[in-house]
A and B are shown apart, each in its own frame.
Chain A
């Protein structure tokens, strides 16, 4: 069974701080996606990374796909309260396998 592990599980920081969330697996994925979910809503796709070593930037968010396509990271610079939510990574190898998520709280 493929497994995607996310860390940390919970993260509470002050506005303006930087943070990194990790998504790790022993399996190789053809692509990996990051989603953000707010309470009472479905997950919303942030980015898809496909190529090993790929780096994508979305404003203050930087996503990296590991060279071996087994892991990924999400780095947020100068976090804002609006970044609060559950961050989920999903790896594709046929079906989409999700990690348990990182619950981020950014306090003003």
Chain B
């Protein structure tokens, strides 16, 4: 596709419910990242996928958060038993390859999650 897409753009849920957020990376990009951004703040790294390697889950804030990437393309971030502090914008990014140097990432528009 032309860019990274995310769905839904907005999600309102009740505390305790599970949510799934989807990311479609740029075609051919081997690396995919999830970040969380609280209102007007910087980006908090959550998880990173590169090819068929085991994902880097070091940023996941609790075991209620998980993510998978199927077929090396689409990724789903799942938050179980949502809490109000989970409310944020969840951003997905992809990059062409993991160079360890010029890690230029292309971001989607994000999913705004509101937990009531």
Residues of A in contact with B (beta carbons under 8 Å apart): 6, 30-31, 33, 35, 40-45, 48, 50, 86, 88, 90, 92, 94-101, 103
B56 A45 Cβ-Cβ under 8 A = no
- Bound-complex Cα distance A87 to B108 (A): 16
- Bound-complex Cα distance A101 to B35 (A): 14
- Per-residue CB contact flags for chain B residues 61-104 toward chain A (1 = under 8 Å, else 0) read 00000000000000000000000000000010100000011111
A30 B45 Cβ-Cβ under 8 A = no
From A6, A42, A94, A101, give the contact of B93 (CB < 8 A).
A42
* B115 shortest CB reach to chain A, Å: 19
B105: Cβ under 8 A from any A Cβ: yes
Residue of B33, B105, B108 contacting most chain A CB atoms (<10 Å): B105
Q: Kindly list 19 other residue pairs between chains A and B, CB separation below 8 angstroms, not including A95-B45, A103-B40.
A: A31-B101, A31-B102, A35-B107, A42-B93, A43-B91, A43-B107, A44-B107, A48-B104, A50-B102, A86-B40, A88-B42, A90-B105, A92-B101, A92-B103, A96-B45, A96-B103, A97-B45, A99-B42, A101-B42
Interface size in chain B (residues, C-beta < 8 A)? 23
Residue of B nearest to A49 (CB): B102
A45 B105 Cβ-Cβ under 8 A = yes
With a cutoff of 8 Å between Cβ atoms, the chain B residues found around residue A50 in the complex are: 101-102
B100 A30 Cβ-Cβ under 8 A = yes
From A42, A92, A94, A97, give the contact of B109 (CB < 8 A).
A42
With a cutoff of 8 Å between Cβ atoms, the chain B residues found around residue A98 in the complex are: 35, 42-43, 45
A42 B100 Cβ-Cβ under 8 A = no
With a cutoff of 8 Å between Cβ atoms, the chain A residues found around residue B42 in the complex are: 6, 88, 98-101
- Bound-complex Cα distance A103 to B109 (A): 18
Residue of A nearest to B6 (CB): A42
A42 B4 Cβ-Cβ under 8 A = yes
